[in-house]
Amino acid sequence: MMELLAYLHDPELVARFQRRCGLFLLVEGAHDHSREGKRVQNGTPVQHTDKKPRVQPSVVRLDHHTDSDRNSNYKCNENGRANSSSGGIIISKPQYKVTNWPLHILFLLSAGLGHEIFYITVLPCIHWNLDPFLCRRLVNMWTVVMYVGQVMKDVLKLPRPLSPPVVKLETRVDAEYGLPSTHAMAATAISFTLLLSAPSRIQFQFEVGLLITVTLSSLVCLSRLYTGMHSVLDVICGVLISGLLLYLSYPYWEAFDRFQLTSLVAPVALPSLLLFLSLTYPELEHYSTTRGDTTTILGAGAGCTMGYWLDEQFGRVFEPKGVLPVPLPTLTAPVVGIGIARALVGVVVLLGTRLAVKTLSLRALYSWYSVPKNDAGARRRREIEVPYKFATYTSVGVVNSFLVNRMFFLLGLQ
């Protein structure tokens, strides 16, 4: 069993997939050195040789970590700079060659389905243009699944694939641990939550919906291998964990809906729980984006919960018209025009809310903790990062789920 897990976690398996898809790592010494950055070890540049270096096959063990920080993709020196696993500092980005540009673009777009820009645009557009009920289900499951996945990363502490042999196309999250893949978890949860919830609200052919669901979630999963950010084991575990959470929670979706919309304690108890989970996020051995990203997700979930409750109390301004399930709307020019107008107005309002609340909350926290305004690194401290991100995205969630539809009504975009 351990041999199978080690095989699935082997970075060479990811590298082979990348090469089959037309993505190749350009190793130092294999091409023009003037176009490469230098590797520095202990302050001394490593000398290039004319001989092409050989990449030794890697042996992955899931239980050996000798350093206090077990992420081999991230080592910190005394100055806090990110080091390579060999102790050197990589000055330039890895060089690579693409021979299949259609696949390259497809996988990069698929990877984008798990980034903040997708969540702050596509999910709200489902609320504004299709059905708030469906968006509520998606946000609820997204919040649960992402929290579980992020915490598991920092508890299990399995490293991401090493480069070489893997080409890494993303650097922002490289300091995070790998297992499970939260992209795979979110793609599975969002796709199948929508598939399971939509039949009671919208008329569509289930088989077509299933095909689209499997295709989109599979593309996101494969994109994590193509970008070199996860092993096959990370992706498989992400899908299985997400599927298990869907299976366990599905019988309680209706009951939770009623509680979330009608209970007097819901708009206080649920956001308080999510804030507590943000504040008690596991301690990090080194700074990574997991705590901040998790707080962002929990804050958005808290804000949406409050907005859904307020929308129910003050009267819903947007619901599908007709007897449920309703037919999908015909895509006439006026319908498409109104949908685009709603999306543009709504996204601008959300981004404006994000910018305003982020700026004000950071100023208040910097003043409270007597932090210089030019100390950008201070926002990584738990006592600053968690409150400002939670406040920012709680505000975004409330605006998305309660205020924006009312703004559409006032602007005649209903």
pLDDT digits (tens, 9 = 90+) for 179-197: 899 999 999 999 999 999 9
Q: Are 401 and 311 in contact (CB under 8 A)?
A: yes
The predicted structure's pLDDT at residue 59 = 39
The predicted structure's pLDDT at residue 62 = 45
The predicted structure's pLDDT at residue 288 = 79
**pLDDT average, residue stretch 363-376:** 88
- Segments of 26-120 assigned E as strands: 39-41, 44-45, 75-76, 82-83, 89-90, 96-98
CA–CA dist 158, 177 (Å, integer): 6
Residue 85: Cβ within 10 Å count = 14
Q: Are 164 and 57 in contact (CB under 8 A)?
A: no
CA–CA dist 27, 31 (Å, integer): 8
Query: Which tens digit of pLDDT belongs to each residue from 39-62?
Result: 433 333 333 333 443 343 333 444
Going by the DSSP 8-state scheme, the letter that residue 179 receives in this structure is S
pTM for the model stands at 0.82
The tokens describing 349, both together, are 């309002």
Q: Are 177 and 289 in contact (CB under 8 A)?
A: no
Query: Which tens digit of pLDDT belongs to each residue from 331-355?
Result: 888 888 998 999 999 999 999 999 9
Q: Is the pLDDT of residue 120 over 50?
A: yes
The predicted structure's pLDDT at residue 214 = 95
Going by the DSSP 8-state scheme, the letter that residue 403 receives in this structure is I
> Which positions are catalytic?
183, 230
The predicted structure's pLDDT at residue 26 = 85
Q: Is the pLDDT of residue 160 over 50?
A: yes
Angle between helices 232-249 and 132-156 (to 10 degrees): 130
The contacts of residue 263 (CB under 8 Å, 6+ apart) are 269
Going by the DSSP 8-state scheme, the letter that residue 28 receives in this structure is T
For residue 76, what are the β-bridge partners?
Answer: 82
In the chain, domain spans: 2-98, 101-410
Query: Which tens digit of pLDDT belongs to each residue from 71-111?
Result: 545 443 333 334 433 333 343 556 889 999 999 999 999 98
CA–CA dist 36, 322 (Å, integer): 62
Q: Is the pLDDT of residue 209 over 60?
A: yes
* DSSP per-residue string spanning 247-298: HHHGGGHHHHHHHHHH-SSHHHHHHHHHHHHHHTPPPPSS--SHHHHHHHHH
The contacts of residue 146 (CB under 8 Å, 6+ apart) are 182, 185, 186, 294, 297
The predicted structure's pLDDT at residue 28 = 52
In 3D, which of 152, 367, 315, 365 has the Cα closest to residue 240? 152
Q: What percent of the chain clears pLDDT 70, i.e. is strictly above it?
A: 84
What is the biggest distance separating any 2 CA atoms in the chain, rounded to whole angstroms? 74
Q: Is the pLDDT of residue 199 over 80?
A: yes
Identify the band that residue 317 occupies on the pLDDT scale cut at 50, 70 and 90. confident
For residue 96, what are the β-bridge partners?
Answer: 25
Helix (H) or strand (E) holding 181: none
Query: Which tens digit of pLDDT belongs to each residue from 122-136?
Result: 888 888 888 899 999
The predicted structure's pLDDT at residue 71 = 52
The predicted structure's pLDDT at residue 13 = 94
Identify the band that residue 393 occupies on the pLDDT scale cut at 50, 70 and 90. very high
Cα→Cα distances 75→85, 95, 158, 178, Å: 7, 21, 14, 15
Using the CB atoms, write b or e for 249-263: b if 16+ within 10 Å: beeebeeeeeebbee
Cα→Cα distances 180→130, 144, 207, 404, Å: 31, 14, 29, 34
Q: Provide φ and ψ at 82, rounded to 5°.
A: -75, 130
User: In whole numbers, what is the pLDDT of the chain averaged over residues?
Assistant: 82
The tokens describing 79, both together, are 């100055």
The predicted structure's pLDDT at residue 170 = 85
Q: What percent of the chain clears pLDDT 90, i.e. is strictly above it?
A: 55
The predicted structure's pLDDT at residue 248 = 96
Identify the band that residue 413 occupies on the pLDDT scale cut at 50, 70 and 90. confident
Length, in residues, of the chain:
414
- Segments of 17-94 assigned E as strands: 23-25, 39-41, 44-45, 75-76, 82-83, 89-90
For residue 75, what are the β-bridge partners?
Answer: 83
